[in-house]
Structure 1
């Protein structure tokens, strides 16, 4: 299989940010990539922005959903059209540093990693850093990940050549977390590269800003997706809550 990286980008009404997202991909030192942007029936100007880029650069592929189906279905449509050995995820309001793909692919080859993730930093709506970095451990297994999703979706890359399952979003809330768990449950480790190579945009609509819903969805994953017993679910949920508190206090640099 080739060394192509397929970048999965769902998009809905992202006129304000999609240009910066695409420019961060075009600026990559690593040139073997395709960016698959799935437009989930947007009604603003983001559609024309992406089409202009795709007309100039054949690596940028625009697909429009037949109907609005949400981020999980949009990602799955992109995955169906992905040709690369590597699968990376980048939402339409987040950005990467120019060395993100080159450094992470080299890291994965060195570690023989099937799945990897990196540290990332939070930015605001004006691309300004807000003094919060999410650092990562050297590696994580299934049981550790149950204690909290420390794998930022915008940082994850999966090597399909080494994976014995289809890469597909489940449709459950926190669908990225469900996917990571399904991979690690097979015995894989996710390897962490503790360098800030991506920037997550914190907006009023960001999922991470709704702690109550996030907690409810995490509990649902324990009980209804992973089928974990009540006692063990409580144990993992307590760890999830504690880790969430620690994460919210990290400011000013890698901790």
Structure 2
């Protein structure tokens, strides 16, 4: 039987509080043919840390960037350059996989080279805040992908034999979307699992939620928009650039308005702020 091993890549920076839950979620998978690659980006001995919690397995692999805060992109790339498995999956150290995530994703890779998943968005105590991308399973073209998966994209699984890429270490944020843009150069469709298979935990200290995130997001989204407008990516699917440009323009408008919206409604999730703008755009396009 053809090898179906999937490498789950977990960058770890000050991850002591949550990484045990992330690792346990992989250990609980119904699909057994996995590897975990943990890349320390803070000098921590995560093998020892997990071992003290009773978490050890011969399928665990440990690397280090040799630096402190070199960045998740560099950490992930270090593992992606080492793994020899046909499939790769991304898991942030403060997120979790649902028990059937890998089984469903590997089965769906028979139909498409990339699999995404709806998200169960949670707070730091694993209490649900909202869902993102939930609904029926479906095939998404790159141009419409972000109108379904409007939040983070570090939940993908991909077939490295049909599409592969590395993270851009020069971007402060949006690196998961930029990786997808590279994958879409040879992959024309994403199979989306509409039942949430990934817990996205919003941690206040993470890169996506910490102080100054709005400025960093605006800078990164502007860079991606300029790349798209300049034809930097040559996509396999038609209209991919047009749809991604529309999403980024709307997302940048949402970023600019978010600080005031947050003052008016403390605790407002960016997803709840952005989604009405995306749906209004879809309605306008449908009405034309």
Runs (4 or more) in structure 1 with deviation over 6 Å come to: 146-149, 242-246
Higher relative contact order (CA 8 A, sep 6+): 1
Equivalent position SS for 1:125: coil
- 2:114 counterpart residue number: 115
- 2:101 counterpart residue number: 100
Comparing 181-190 with 57-66, which one deviates more in the overlay?
181-190
In structure 1, the gaps of 5 or more residues are: none
Contact 2:11 2:39 in 1 (8 A): yes
Report the CA distance shift for 1:54/1:81 in structure 2 as closer, same or farther (over 3 A): farther
Comparing 52-61 with 194-203, which one deviates more in the overlay?
52-61
Equivalent runs, 1:1-255 vs 2, <5 Å: 2-42=3-43, 46=46, 48-50=48-50, 56-68=56-68, 69-109=70-110, 112-130=111-129, 132-135=130-133, 138-145=138-145, 150=150, 152-163=152-163, 166-171=164-169, 172-173=171-172, 174-186=174-186, 188-209=188-209, 210-224=213-227, 227=230, 235-241=246-252, 247-248=271-272
Q: Partners in 1 of 2:63 and 2:54 — Cα distance?
A: 10
Report the CA distance shift for 1:243/1:183 in structure 2 as closer, same or farther (over 3 A): farther
Report the CA distance shift for 1:91/1:146 in structure 2 as closer, same or farther (over 3 A): closer
Comparing 234-243 with 10-19, which one deviates more in the overlay?
234-243
Comparing 145-154 with 60-69, which one deviates more in the overlay?
145-154
CA RMSD of aligned residues (A): 3.2
In structure 2, the gaps of 5 or more residues are: 233-241, 259-269, 280-288
Comparing 52-61 with 195-204, which one deviates more in the overlay?
52-61
- 2:282 counterpart residue number: none
Q: Partners in 1 of 2:246 and 2:114 — Cα distance?
A: 26
State the TM-score, normalizing by the size of structure 1: 0.82
What is the CA-CA distance between 1:138 and the residue it aligns to? 2.4
Contact 2:89 2:158 in 1 (8 A): yes
Q: Partners in 2 of 1:118 and 1:33 — Cα distance?
A: 18
Aligned residues: 244
